[in-house]
Amino acid sequence: MPDNPFRRTKPEPVPPVAASAREKTLPLRINGKAFFHNGDPEMPLLWYLRDVLRLTGTKYGCGIGACGACTVLVDGKAEHACMLPVKSLAQREVTTIEDLAGKDALHPLQESWIAEDAIGCGYCQPGMIMAAAALLKRKPHPDDADIDAIPNLCRCGTYPRIRAAIARAASAPVEGKK
């Protein structure tokens, strides 16, 4: 048994490995920080984020790229973390929900999600926000068809409020960090 099995463990950043070990490891850039993965290069980014880095804002929903709960930004574009082996991420910049907000302010989408109370159970919302962030990056003033095309699933049916939140953020003057 470990010293105290009931101790709640907080996410801890994994320290970069020593330079000598780097040759065998995979360099990753996540939320602006460098990480070196020395495990299975086939491990999907989703499980690396969650189980290794304990960045649990990226959610598991289906594991086959069908629900969008694990949506992250890779070089600014929406991707399903469950479909990305970490080995495919060399030289690419990953942004998760934990790093969407700026230092001093939430991302406009996060503000608008709160303003519209677009929460439901909340589980899919980080993925939704990341998908919407990618959309606004690509098209700052999306039309209905653009919003319709967001493939993410919300089991609670918060779609109308999500739609309102995206529209609100799109009409907000403030530029987001990402």
Partner 1 sequence: MSLDRSRRRFLVTSAGAAGALLVGWRAQAQDDLPYLGARFAPQQLSDFVRIETDGAVVIGARGCEVGQGVKTGLPMLIAEELDADWSRVRVEQLPYGYIEADSGPGDRYGDQGVGGDAGPAAWTQLRQAGAVARWLLVQAAAQQWNLDAATLRTESGFVIAADGRKLAYGDLAANAATLDAPANPPPLKDASQFRIIGKPARSVDAREVVLGRTEYGIDSYLGNTLVAVIARCPYPGGTLDTLDDTQARQVTGVHRTIILPGPKSDAPFDGVLAAGVAVLADDTWSALRGRDKLKITWKPDPSWAKDSSAGLEEKAGALLGDDANATVVRNDGDFARTKKAPHTTTLSARYRLPFLAHATAEPPSATIAVTKDKVVLIAGVHDPDGASQLLHALTGVPREAIEIRLPRAGGDLGRRVHNDFVAEAALVAKEAGVPVKLAWLREDDLSHDFYRPFGVHELTATLDRKQHLAGWSHRVAATPRNWRNSQLAGKPIFAGLLDADAFPAGLLPNFQQLFHALPCGLPRGELLGGVHAFQAFATQCFLDEIAHATHQDPVVLRMDLLGAPRMLRPGFDTGRLAGVLRIAAGKIDWQHKPKNGHGLGIACHAGGGAYAAHAFEVSVEGNDLVIHRAICAIDAGRVLNPLNLQAQASAATLIAVSATLHEAITLKNGQVQQRNFPDYPLLRMGQAPHSVDVHSVDSGADPADFHDIVAASAAPALANAVFAATTVRVRRLPLMPELLRLI
Per CB under 8 A, contacts with partner 1 among 51-80 are 51-52, 54-64, 66-67, 69
Q: How far is the CB of 74 from partner 1 (least distance, A)?
A: 16
Residues written for the chain: 178
End-to-end CA gap in the chain: 44
Q: Would you count residue 135 as binding partner 1 (CB under 8 A)?
A: no
Q: How far is the CB of 121 from partner 1 (least distance, A)?
A: 3
Phi, psi of 15 (to 5 degrees): -65, 145
Of residues 92 through 111, those in contact with partner 1 by CB under 8 A are: 96-98, 100-101, 106, 109-110
**Alpha carbon distances (Å) from 92 to 29, 86, 161:** 7, 10, 32
By beta-carbon proximity to partner 1, the closer residue of 94 and 154 is: 154
Q: Would you count residue 113 as binding partner 1 (CB under 8 A)?
A: yes
Query: Considering only CA atoms, which of 8, 169, 15, 17 is closest in space to residue 100?
Result: 169
